[in-house]
Amino acid sequence: MKQINNNFIFFGAIHQDFVFELKNDLIKYRTNPIKHSESYGGVAHNVARVISKNENVSLFSIKSDKETIRYLKKIGINFISLNNKIQKRYYGILINKFKKFQLGIANTEAYELFKKTIINFQFKNKNLIFDLNFSNIFIKKLINEYYKDNKIIICGTSPFKVHKIKNLLKKINCLILNKEELFTLTNIRNINKSIKFIISINPNINLIVSNGGNKTYAYEYSKLISIKPPKVKIINENGAGDVMAGNYIYYRSKNYTLEKSLSLGMATGIMHVKSKKNIKINFKSIRKISNQIKINKEKLYE
């Protein structure tokens, strides 16, 4: 079986993201003028891109074109195609003239239709990071095959996709969700109670729950903490959660404390929303922001 030297192995999406920014207030049932931009996206790609600033990583996904593969190689991502056919997939968002998110649309069925269960690779002592774009058959097969010898990390992706891991929680080491993904997974619309539900199934899980501009929670080994991000002018909201997750995963893997990893991840997300796409993020910059972030201890209430 084939082996990979990289310590961070991703399974998930890489495709084009399209951002449509309204120039004026939205007028329903009429043509609205917009500004348009596009970039590479996909949750697995977004998280991998952050970690690739520090280490080489590998990304397993459905076949991409030569231009995409050259781009991935340039930023230190080793691309491994899972099939032989390029299939169209993309994500688009609509934001208003104040750069606030209004609507997201995703054409990601190509990932869902991929049901291959054998990849002929051997992994040991790796960080295996999944977004939830692939079919539940594929995700379940890989987690069941590799969880004993590796660290399994899940990035929530969408409330419509978290059902894929509902019966796999005991095999997950780190789970990163937003509030709505958490509520959908647990069927409990309360953050504290939802966290308690998850850890009742897997007490050893490391759980991160983000809530936009409100508190982000982190749980590990009976410790629950939170961070409330400072108010900033939002320029680029798309992918901010993935950027935060990337540096959280990286620094936690380097044995930074839960508190420090979360504050560094949050600082990276803050830099992202304040800046234009593809900003160069370095440790000195995010450390300066993270030192200004207050960590709060929380209790798991009955």
Mean of pLDDT values over 44-55: 95
Q: State the average pLDDT over residues 2-26.
A: 95
Looking at the predicted structure, is the pLDDT value of residue 163 above 60?
yes
> Which residue intervals of 239-290 are DSSP H helices?
240-253, 258-274, 283-290
Domain 1-172 sits in CATH 3.40.1190.20: yes
Give the SS3 label for residue 275.
Answer: coil
pLDDT at 77 over 60: yes
**Is residue 40 within 8 Å of 65, Cβ to Cβ?**
no
Helix axes 43-51, 240-253, angle to 10 degrees: 50
Fold (CATH) for 178-302:
UDP-N-acetylmuramoyl-L-alanine:D-glutamate ligase (3.40.1190)
Give 160 or 289, the one with higher predicted confidence.
Answer: 160
Question: Helix (H, G, I), strand (E, B), or coil: what is residue 34?
Answer: strand
Share of the chain above pLDDT 70, in %: 97
Q: Provide the pLDDT confidence category of residue 15 given band limits of 50, 70 and 90.
A: very high
Work out the pLDDT band at 133, boundaries 50, 70, 90.
very high
In order of 155, 243, 249, the CA distances from 254 in angstroms are 19, 17, 9
Q: What is the DSSP track for 172-234?
A: -SEEEEEHHHHHHHHT-S-HHHHHHHHHHH-TT-EEEEE-TTS-EEEEETTEEEEE-PPP---
Got the DSSP string for 70-128? HHHHHTTEEEEESSSS----EEEEEE-TT--EEEEEEE-HHHHT-------EE-SS-EE
Domain 1-172 shares a fold with domain 178-302: yes
Domain ranges of the chain: 1-172, 178-302
Across the chain, mean pLDDT equals: 92
Signed CA dihedral, 233, 131, 259, 124: sign only: negative
Q: How confident is the model at residue 278 (pLDDT cuts 50, 70, 90)?
A: low
b/e string for 212-239 if b means 16 or more Cβ within 10 A?
A: eeebbbbbbeeebbbbebeeeebebbbb
Inter-residue contact 114 to 135 (CB < 8 Å): yes
Q: Is the pLDDT of residue 170 over 70?
A: yes
**Residues 42-53: what's their mean pLDDT?**
96
pLDDT band for 132, please (50, 70, 90 cuts): very high
Identify which of 84-88, 110-114, 152-156 has the greatest average pLDDT: 152-156
Model confidence at 277, pLDDT cuts 50, 70, 90, reads: low
* Residue found by looking up tokens 């995963």 in the block: 249
pLDDT for 279 beyond 80: no
Q: Give this prediction's pTM.
A: 0.94
Stretch 271-296: mean pLDDT: 79
